[in-house]
Each structure stands twice: as C-alpha cells, then as structure tokens.
Amino acid sequence: MSAVETVDKNKVKFTFSVDSETFEKGMDYSYNKNKNSINIQGFRKGKAPRKLIEAQYGKAVFYDDAINYVLPEAYEKAVEENNLEVVSRPEIDVVSLDENGVVFSAEVFVKPEVKLGDYKGLTYEKREVNPTDEEIDAEIKKELDKAARLVTVTDRPIENGDIATIDFKGYIDDVAFEGGEGHDYDLNIGSHSFIDNFEEQLIGHGTDEDVVVNVTFPEDYGQKELAGKPAKFEVKIKAVKVREIPEFTDEFVQDTSEFENMKDYRNDICGKLLAQNVQKADTAKEEELVNKLTDASETDIPQAMIDSDVDMKIQDQAYQLQQMGWSMDMYLQQMGQTLDTLKEAYKPLSEKQVKARLVLEAVAKAENLTVSDDDIKAEAEKVSKAYGVDTEQIMKSPDFVKTVKEDLLRQKALKLVCENAKEEKPSKTAKKEAKNEEKKAKKEAKAKAKAEK
C-alpha cells in the first residue's frame, strides 16, 4: 500500500502494483485472446507459440490486454486498502513494467468533507392538510367529467368548448410538410392544443364545411424547420360534439361507485384527499428542511460528482424515452436542444441534489447511524419480488449492497433531522407569497404545456 498524495482540492494520487506472477496470467490471457489474429510464417493462425510471437513482434504486443486484465482487481484492492471514497473515474498511468511486474499510478477525486450546519432544531412551515370544500368539489367535478359522454350536434356551428372531429393537412409555401396531416382528429376547441389561432378560426363553421386556417408557427417551435414560418391548413369538419356532464346525485353515486349516497361518496373523497395532503405535507417538510440544512452547510463538490449525476439523469431520461418509442436524438430535435444544452440544464439540479446527499451522509456519520444486514436484505427482497431475481444473488452484488447502504443511511439521517425539527405557523406575508408562487407556477406550467403542444 502506498501513501496517498493530495494533488488538488479533493483530488488524490496513489500508486499500486501487480506482481510478476499475476501479470504473467494477464499475458497468457492476452495471448489467447489475440493469437488467432496474428500471422506467423509457417503456422496456422492461433497455433504459433507465444514466445515465438513475442520474439517477432516484441512482448509489448500483449501488454494492452494484459494490463486491462489485471488492472480492475488491483485498482479496487488499492482503493479499499487506502480507505478512499472515490467519486470519479480514475486517471491511470503505467509507472513501470518489467520483470518484477507492473506499477500503476491513479489520480481520483474523493468524497469531500462537509462542514455541517445545525441539523437539530431546524424549523419548518406548518401546512394545512384538511381538505377544503373547494378541493372536494374539484375532485367530484373530475369524476363527473370522466363520466361525461359525447353527443353529436347538427343544428348549430362550432362554439368554444366543443369538440370538433376534423381532417387536416398543412402546407408551407403550398408544399405539404411532414407531421402536418391528421384524420378523424378530435380537437377540443379552446384547449390551445394546436397552434395559436388555429382553433379560433373553426368557430362559427359547421359539419361538412371545408375551412382554410392560416397560422404562423412560434419562433421557438420545437421543429426548427417550421419555427417562425406561416402555414396554411386545409380543414374538413366532419362532426361537432359536446360533452354532456352528469349531475352529482345519489343515482350517479350508485351507478359509478360502491356508495349509496352523495354524503358517503363525498366523505370517501375527503379521506383520500386528506391522505394525499398529508403525504404532500411530509414531502414539502423534508424538502424544506434539507434545503435549510444544505444552505447552512459548507462543502466543495468536485465537478466530477456533478457531471456523473447529470450523466445518470440523462441515462434515465433516455430509458424513459425508449419506453415511449422515442430516441434521445428525436427528443433533442423536437425540443430544439443539443446534448450539451441538456447537460447544462441539468447541472443546477444535480449540484443541489449532490450536496443534499453529501450533507445527509455527514449527518449519518456525525450521529453514528448504521444499517444492518437485515435492512439491506429487506431491500433485496423488494427487488427480488419486483423483478423475479433471487434474493441471495442480489445480496452478492457489492454495488447493490453499497448503494442500498448509502441510501438507507441518508433516509435515517433525514428522519433524524425531521424528528428534531420544530413546526412554525406561516406568517400572513408568507401565506400571501406562497399563494402568489402557486399561481405563478400554475401559470408557467400552463404556458409551458401550451408551448410544447
């Protein structure tokens, strides 16, 4: 085991070696891997002795694969012996390679120290969890909307709020463009799901009418080839429909639920909303306390940790897109982004989340919190049940055990912080600001959804 040398903030360098006997096994592995692709006169491929190949080409012909064979185990052993918490890919160099074996050097970023702020006695805002009459009424309205039926109208033209079944085809400079055609499309007039002013131009027209709709694509439209361009759509109105929403009555309750009357139905919704509100309040409490704790704590996060977290987020997003039949390239093109701009967009969130994890790990360390083998096994059993993999096999994975242990320690640390926090009532100013923020968030979300559509 070599001494660990600090070369930069949170970056260290250390050396480790592989003896000649172990490296010889690596050379044998490399020979067997490559012998079929090496030509030696007088021998069929794969039949030339290793010494003969080395005599003609030099021993170095097998070094790369031999090094790759022995390096991983030697590196992991050196990290463990030096008790290093590595948070980046290593930068490996070969220091020497001779009859005694091979000596490597490695430079890595390690987990930074955290200067904890106060984590006991933090305050959090009290949140109302009892559902209001307005919330209950809104939930009932959602259920009534789900039960609505579409009725075709033939005695009047399209009005705002109607659903128009249309065929359409779009043109730019009288040339049809890709993705601009649809058939039997049910368009909710007033939903703004199409380009601005498209839906409004259908109002006043009736079934079987042909309408020419003129619009201009937004400058920030996802498909760059269409952004900012004027377009013409030829639209055929095939039907006009309205949604008939049922009344909230005992009969509706009996037809759509296990309850007999409106009162019991309403009480059930109240109970479900209460459970949801409690969960939301708990989540908001945790986020508020973690934010306060991270703001009060100090640490220098290696950029490598942030970059790694960003890469993980992009991998997760790519997987989710794949499940929907999209590729990352298709998504980036649609959103008018590049991989680099997407990474930049993720960085602030990754930095915040990485710091939060580091701070909670520091709390766990300060409080000497531990995770038992039974705790880890319980998590393995959850994975086993979800994916049909043997529990014992899961437990044999060092990466699984390490990841679960770290996650459970952070959970225990968060629980400790929450249990030692104090609830405080929000001031009138805070309430007003919260309402304004909520309105602003809803407005922004609506604008974003509209822009994406």
Closest CA to 279 of 94, 129, 410, 103: 129
> Are the C-beta atoms of residues 145 and 246 closer than 8 Å to each other?
no
pLDDT tens, N- to C-terminus, the chain (453 residues): 567 899 988 999 999 999 999 999 999 999 999 999 888 888 888 889 999 999 999 999 999 999 999 999 999 999 999 999 999 999 999 999 998 999 999 999 999 999 999 999 999 999 999 999 999 999 999 999 999 999 999 999 999 999 999 999 999 999 999 889 999 999 999 998 888 889 999 999 999 999 999 999 988 787 778 888 999 999 999 999 999 999 999 999 999 999 999 999 999 999 999 999 999 999 999 999 999 999 999 999 999 999 999 999 999 999 999 999 999 998 888 788 899 999 999 999 999 999 999 999 999 999 999 999 999 999 999 999 988 888 889 998 888 999 999 999 999 999 999 999 999 987 655 555 656 666 665 565 555 544 444
> Which 8-state DSSP code applies to residue 298?
B
CA angle 360, 6, 11 (to 5 degrees): 50
Q: Tell me how far CA of residue 402 lies from CA of 150, 215, 286, 386, in angstroms.
A: 55, 56, 24, 20
> Are the C-beta atoms of residues 261 and 243 closer than 8 Å to each other?
no
Tokens 């969960």 correspond to what residue? 279
The residue count for the chain: 453
Tokens 């989340």 correspond to what residue? 353
Structure tokens at 269: 């919704």
Report helix, strand or coil for 11. strand
Q: What share of the chain is helix, strand, coil (3-state, %, to 5)?
A: 50, 20, 30
Structure tokens at 56: 């003609």
What is the Cα 213 distance to its own chain's centre? 39
Q: What is the largest CA-CA distance in the chain?
A: 96
Structure tokens at 289: 């306390």
CA pair distance 42, 21, nearest whole angstrom: 31
* Domains of the chain by start residue, with CATH: 5-109 (3.30.70.1050), 149-244 (3.10.50.40), 260-452 (1.10.3120.10)
CA pair distance 14, 82, nearest whole angstrom: 9
Res 67: pLDDT:
96
CA pair distance 7, 48, nearest whole angstrom: 46
